[in-house]
Amino acid sequence: MSAPAATVPVNEEAEQIIGTLLKAPPQDPYPLYARLREIAPVYRPSFANFWTLTRYDDVAAAFKEKRFVRNYEDMRERIGQPLDMSRPFDALGEHFFFLHNPPEYLPKRALYNTAFNKNYVETLRPMMQGFVDELLDEIGQKGEMNVVEDLSFGLTVRVICSTIGVPLEKSDLLVNWAHSFAPTMDPLVTDEARATMDAAVVKLENYLHELLEEKRANPGDDLISRLIEADEEGIVSDEELRANVPLVFSAGLETTTHFIGNAIHSLMRNRDQWDLLCGDPDGLVKNAVEELLRYDSSVQSDPPLRLAAEDIEIGGVTIAEGESVMPFIGSANRDPAMYEDPDKLDITRADIRTVAFGGGVHICLGQHLARMESQVALATLAKRFPNIELTGPEPEFNAFANTRSLKSLTVELR
């Protein structure tokens, strides 16, 4: 489906900004997004071979546009990392369900939705509350915590293990896989990241075989058991099952872990908003999470997976058949055309329509789970430790293009 690229006038400033955002994102990318929205909101950099989108309306339109289809092989060609089926990760990746398109995608999506739909996730609230209480009981005795490791990771790994059916004490290989997977979704993925991912896949294979055989013998009320049943009914293949168990684990672990860390960092940097939340945690936490998702999402951009099945106009620019787009989610969520004073954190802000979870038929599978985990974590922390303070060295963000995550975040518990 690939088409010759149209000639695009080179904008040197835009080239430099996009290059920085993709190769070495700064600690604060938001001023770069703002400048890019002004000078080149829809732009195809000469070095990347896909269009970048930075305005809210354009990003939202791309997510909802049904004429954009997913083509993993083409995307890999465009980012200079063509598929090599002799490599373990590439052989696994061709079975990822989120890379498929309707109509074959829809029954697979429906199967996964049984563990992540809003009504089912609501039944998990008491379990999540128990996990957060347990973690804070233990952490509170120390008087200090690394939010990323002690709270957000501690919570999300317990929740995703319970939801999909992985014993917590045997989750290390899947955690390692998840940590290795995130960099491979960057648009300019390195050879080193691919090699690390290949090694993680090899280490995971034996454990997956053992885990799936155990679930076949002793099914439970979890996603893996449902997938095994669907495998026996011919809805999914065994290859898909082995590929998507670690994929769902990674998706459920990484982005929510990072978001909770980002959220608490944002609240500590905007103390008035933290104090406001502490004054009415149960009443404000849902809206607070939506605003924090808008303000500093852990997902900053979407890989250039969307391929135009025909010519499509986005933001006054024609994306030709065969060309792809990369939406900058972090930029869209701070677009002043959508939000008044977008660089201000305001947990009472009305009509928040974040694109942090994407949109359309491929909207994030775990959006309801992520929201509830974040709500429970923030509300409970606000009730139990309203006087927490940042301590230790200045927090640093990892330099990933697609995700925004803190290396650590130390707070003193009072």
For residue range 122-153, list pLDDT tens digits in order: 999 999 999 999 999 999 889 999 999 999 99
Q: What is the mean pLDDT of residues 310-317?
A: 96
Phi, psi of 144 (to 5 degrees): -155, 150
pLDDT on residue 3: 45
Residue 311 amino acid letter: D
Pick from 350, 339, 344, 364: nearest CA to 290: 350
pLDDT on residue 2: 45
Pick from 56, 54, 51, 62: nearest CA to 36: 54
Instruction: Tell whether the model's pLDDT for residue 66 goes beyond 90.
Output: yes
Judge whether 6 lies within some domain: no
Judge whether 5 lies within some domain: no
Pick from 254, 271, 297: nearest CA to 411: 271
Judge whether 3 lies within some domain: no
- What residues make up the domain containing 398? 12-412
Other C-beta atoms closer than 10 Å to the C-beta of 135 total 20
Instruction: Tell whether the model's pLDDT for residue 209 goes beyond 70.
Output: yes
Judge whether 176 lies within some domain: yes
Judge whether 2 lies within some domain: no
pLDDT on residue 79: 67
The number of domains in the chain is: 1
Percent of the chain with pLDDT over 70: 98
Q: What is the mean pLDDT of residues 363-379?
A: 97
Which segment of 56-70, 191-205, 288-302 scores lowest on mean pLDDT? 191-205
Q: What is the mean pLDDT of residues 389-402?
A: 91
Judge whether 1 lies within some domain: no
pLDDT, mean over the chain: 92
What's the distance, CA 243 to chain centroid? 18
Band (pLDDT 50/70/90 cuts) for residue 6 is: low
pTM value?
0.94
What's the distance, CA 321 to chain centroid? 27
Instruction: Tell whether the model's pLDDT for residue 1 goes beyond 80.
Output: no
C-alpha–C-alpha distance, residues 253 and 248, integer Å:
8
Judge whether 392 lies within some domain: yes
Radius of gyration of the chain, Cα coordinates, nearest whole angstrom = 21
Helices 154-164 and 238-269, packing angle to 10 deg = 150
Residue 287 amino acid letter: N
Percent of the chain with pLDDT over 90: 73
pLDDT tens figures, 236-264: 888 899 999 999 999 999 999 999 999 99
Pick from 294, 322, 327: nearest CA to 60: 327
Band (pLDDT 50/70/90 cuts) for residue 331 is: very high
Which segment of 55-69, 84-98, 102-116 scores lowest on mean pLDDT? 84-98
SS (H, E, C) the chain: CCCCCCCCCCCHHHHHHHHHHHHCCCCCCHHHHHHHHHHCCEECCCCCCCEEECCHHHHHHHHHCCCEEECHHHHHHHCCCCCCCCCHHHHHHCCCHHHCCCCCHHHHHHHHHCCCCHHHHHCCHHHHHHHHHHHHHHHHCCCEEEHHHHHHHHHHHHHHHHHHCCCHHHCHHHHHHHHHHHHHCCCCCCHHHHHHHHHHHHHHHHHHHHHHHHHHHCCCCCHHHHHHHHHHCCCCCHHHHHHHHHHHHHHHHHHHHHHHHHHHHHHHHCHHHHHHHHHCHHHHHHHHHHHHHHHCCCECCCCCCEEECCCEEECCEEECCCCEEEECHHHHCCCCCCCCCCCCCCCCCCCCCCCCCCCHHHCCCCHHHHHHHHHHHHHHHHHHCCCCEECCCCCCECCCCCECCECCCEEECC
Instruction: Tell whether the model's pLDDT for residue 29 goes beyond 80.
Output: yes
pLDDT on residue 118: 94
Other C-beta atoms closer than 10 Å to the C-beta of 11 total 16
Instruction: Tell whether the model's pLDDT for residue 197 goes beyond 50.
Output: yes
Instruction: Tell whether the model's pLDDT for residue 191 goes beyond 90.
Output: no
pLDDT on residue 160: 97
Band (pLDDT 50/70/90 cuts) for residue 342 is: very high
Q: What is the mean pLDDT of residues 338-363?
A: 97
- Measure the CA angle with vertex 206, ends 205 and 209; round to 5°: 90
Q: Which residues pair with 319 in a beta bridge?
A: 312
Tokens 């149209």: give the residue: 6
CA dihedral over 389, 372, 166, 303, signed as positive or negative: negative
pLDDT on residue 298: 97
C-alpha–C-alpha distance, residues 200 and 215, integer Å:
22
Instruction: Tell whether the model's pLDDT for residue 414 goes beyond 90.
Output: no
Band (pLDDT 50/70/90 cuts) for residue 391 is: very high
Tokens of 78: 């465009």
pLDDT on residue 58: 98
C-alpha–C-alpha distance, residues 130 and 138, integer Å:
12
Cα 58 to Cα 32, 158, 197, 312, 395: the distances in Å are 17, 37, 33, 12, 32
Pick from 345, 383, 388: nearest CA to 150: 388
Q: What's the CATH code of the domain at 334?
A: 1.10.630.10
pLDDT on residue 232: 86
Instruction: Tell whether the model's pLDDT for residue 5 goes beyond 70.
Output: no
